[in-house]
């Protein structure tokens, strides 16, 4: 358990090691609340998109694979953005444009491709 935790947080952390998604992480993390909100939003989109894409992997033709991944991710980001605007408007206002930018975040696309 300790090895899995250290691998995910320290040794194989996509933001630190691979420098994926660094722009949004730096821009939004001006406070703990913003960092936690962005982290939770990315985590929800990441988990849900990977579940949906892994279920649809055999159905999606290879020629439109990346485009269909982006459609799934965009739909989930839209839901997350609407939930933030409805229930936590102050956080939504402070995160601003960076929530919709989750759609083209390299971490999300890289994980979707690897599943």
Reported as a single tens digit per residue, the pLDDT across 25-64 is: 666 777 888 888 888 888 898 889 989 988 998 898 989 9
Indicate if the pLDDT at residue 20 is higher than 60: no
Long-range contacts of 25-30 (CB under 8 A, 24+ apart): 27/98, 28/95, 28/98
Contact 81, 15 (CB under 8 A): no
pLDDT on residue 77: 92
- Average pLDDT on 99-110 reads 75
pLDDT on residue 104: 77
| Spatial distance between the Cα atoms of 101 and 25, rounded to a whole number of angstroms | 11
How large is the C-alpha radius of gyration of the chain? 15
pLDDT on residue 22: 57
pLDDT on residue 109: 72
């Amino acid at each position: 358990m300790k090895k899995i935790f250290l691998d995910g947080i320290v040794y194989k952390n996509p933001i630190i090691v691979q420098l994926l998604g660094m722009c949004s992480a730096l821009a939004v993390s001006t406070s703990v609340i913003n960092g936690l909100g962005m982290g939770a939003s990315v985590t929800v989109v990441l988990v849900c998109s990977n579940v949906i894409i892994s279920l649809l992997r055999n159905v999606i033709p290879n020629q439109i694979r990346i485009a269909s991944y982006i459609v799934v991710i965009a739909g989930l980001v839209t839901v997350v953005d609407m939930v933030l605007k409805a229930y936590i408007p102050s956080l939504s206002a402070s995160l601003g444009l960076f929530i919709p930018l989750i759609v083209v975040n390299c971490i999300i696309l890289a994980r979707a491709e690897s599943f």
